[in-house]
Amino acid sequence: MHRIIAAVLAATTCAAAAHAQDTSASPASAAAPAFSLEDAVSAAGGSAPAIEAAEAGVTAAEAGRRVAGLRPNPTVSTQVENVIGSGPYKGFDQAETTVSFAVPIELGGKRSARIAVADAQTQRALLTSAITQADVRLQVTQLYVETVAAKWRAFTARDQARIATDAFSAARIRVQAGRASPIEEQRAEVARLNAEAGAERAQRLADAAEANLERRIGRQVHGQLDMTALDRVPPVTYGPIRTPDAAGTLTLAAADADLAFADAGVRLARSQRVPDINVGPGLRRLEATNDTAAVFTVSIPIPVFNSGRAAVDQASAERSRAEAQRRVTALDVEQRITNAQAEVDNAATAARNANGPALAAAQEAARIARIGYREGKFGQLELLDAERTLAETRIAAIDALATYHNAKAQLERLTAPAPTPEQGN
């Protein structure tokens, strides 16, 4: 932004430049390496609680995948019969003790269905992590852009305060020389006080913006920010609006993952309708004869009260909802991308116009008004009006640049690509 902002801040007279501020007054004058936007994004990625939560979700989903692949545990049971009864069965003399070992056998593809659900959950968790990282990048970008813009606004306000001080000195000289009425000195004093108050407000806002940035990235910013971060504004191209394609974006990939999860849920519900069986050998000991015999058991539940049909209906309805939501998401993403593209183009046009002829005209008008006022050719009202117009044009130019880069960041977030399976692993 040096070329553009330098033009924004260059509207000072030769006399003002003679006692220009020291290098520390300019937010772009630091010799140390600038703390760039990528530095801020990298710092935020290592400390953002949202990213930590998303990564924990991925870890949990991967653990769930391992759980889904486990087979049911076998059971060992002991049964004692013919004891504590009457007659010969009064004690334990006629006891029959059976120890059996049973292995559940899952039928209907339950294990593979569980794994499919867990895989879908893992993929959704990976996408959630990528979405969170993209959201954090957007938030940091917006804070970074706002901080840079706030620092330029503060510098502009300080420059306007200096100009107002020079105008007040000129008005005092004119009054002392008898070339102007004392009201001009009073009016210049009011303008100077207002400009100094505006500079203080702008500096507080810049400090607050930097504090919010530091809070978001989890560390202090040492040195200067990259004050050229707002400098890159591409030329505006005119033509038909490009047809957006939501395929491959993070948002649509998340909707696809939700649909895949719903598909896996239907498969799991259907597999649950097939009853499992428990089989296993056992050993029976007859106390009366001290003999032993083998036992083989097979058990299978009878789906009388719950056949699993309701669960399948529920899963199918969830699948239909996910499919419809996926179509809604695709339309919504394409609409938002179209709007974002238009906003970026409009913001680029506004940024170039604000930093072009309008700013140059305001600078020239203020320069002529200052010279004319010192020479007695223009009145004070003309000078104040020219300075106010220049200040407003400078701020509008900075705001237009910030608006463009915020719109660009929004578009990049909407079109952020989903990670490939290799990236996800």
Question: DSSP letter at 239?
Answer: S
Cβ neighbours of 235 (radius 10 Å)? 7
Of the pLDDT bands very low, low, confident and very high (cuts 50, 70, 90), residue 1 is: very low
Residue 368 structure tokens:
């002529």
Residue 32 structure tokens:
């140390």
Helix (H, G, I), strand (E, B) or coil at 313: helix
Compute the distance between CA of residue 300 and CA of residue 53 in angstroms, rounded to an integer: 43
Of the pLDDT bands very low, low, confident and very high (cuts 50, 70, 90), residue 26 is: low
* Most confident region among 165-169, 195-199, 388-392 by mean pLDDT: 195-199
Tens of pLDDT, residues 162-191: 888 887 887 788 778 777 778 878 888 888
Tens of pLDDT, residues 64-83: 999 999 999 999 999 888 88
288-296 long-range Cβ contacts below 8 angstroms, 24+ apart = 288/93, 288/94, 295/98, 295/100
> What number is the average pLDDT over the span 201-207?
95
Name the nearest CA neighbour of 368 among 347, 348, 349, 390: 390
Cβ neighbours of 243 (radius 10 Å)? 8
> What number is the average pLDDT over the span 278-284?
90
Compute the distance between CA of residue 299 and CA of residue 332 in angstroms, rounded to an integer: 53
> What number is the average pLDDT over the span 37-66?
89
Instruction: With a cut of 90, say whether residue 2 has pLDDT above it.
Output: no
Query: What pTM did the predictor assign?
Result: 0.78
Compute the distance between CA of residue 204 and CA of residue 209 in angstroms, rounded to an integer: 9
> 417 has which bridge partners?
249
